[in-house]
Amino acid sequence: MAGVAGWKNVDPAWADVDTLIDTTLLGEDGASREFAQRAADAGLPDIAVSPSQGRFLELICRIMGAHRVLEVGTLGGYSTLFLARGVGKAGEVVTLEAKRTYAAVAQQNFDASGMGDRITMHVRAALKSLAELSGPFDLTFIDADKPNNVAYVKHALRLSRPGALIIVDNVVREGAVLAPAEDDESAKGTRALYEFVQSEPRLEATALQTVGDKGWDGMMFLRVRD
């Protein structure tokens, strides 16, 4: 789960369990550590998915047999690494990033990973790129500015094949979605996503709460009906 700047409520036990998961189940992963270190060195915010969540995305791709994946929100390319692993050598990840400083770090990471040939990055406002993309995609991972969540999901739905999966990150926000503060545009945009999905008959959905060293949050899972 991507962390959110300013969130401090992390139980030490949550972080300890994340460490247990990482050390016993994930194994040595030098590439992901290098990705994270480049992002930190460049001063990017610490809001990427955790290692175990990245592996989760990778396994979802493999389980689905996903060959074409769309990502909204590249940041330093950390989650993109796992998605690219998941689609395999013959697959493609199309990732969208609005900030050139973030995209520059991500491109360095992609070049160093040896998987750059399966990643296409568009550097401009995601809504502009989404309007011009062609589908279909097997899976979409949305982890970008939350006020545009509904618009991103609408585009993802248009670009998805029947049976495709759309995953939206940060949908709990330490409970802020229950009663979003007037000045919390991210929580308001996320709550609007729940209301949109509730009224969209083409989607079947659930969401899972998570805790860990990124805090208390969750992911929403949307399946495009056949």
Each residue's pLDDT expressed in tens, for the chain with a length of 226 residues: 444 444 457 899 999 999 999 999 998 899 999 999 999 999 999 999 999 999 999 999 999 999 999 999 999 999 999 999 999 999 999 999 999 999 999 999 999 999 999 999 999 999 999 999 999 999 999 999 999 999 999 999 999 999 999 999 999 999 999 999 999 999 999 999 999 999 999 999 999 999 998 899 999 999 999 9
Domain ranges (residues) in the chain: 12-224
CATH, range 12-224: 3.40.50.150
Q: Which long-range contacts (CB under 8 A, 24 or more apart) does 192-201 make?
A: 192/149, 192/150, 193/149, 193/150, 193/153, 193/168, 193/220, 194/220, 196/150, 196/153, 196/154, 197/153, 197/222, 200/157, 201/225
Q: What are 94's two structure tokens?
A: 């199309």
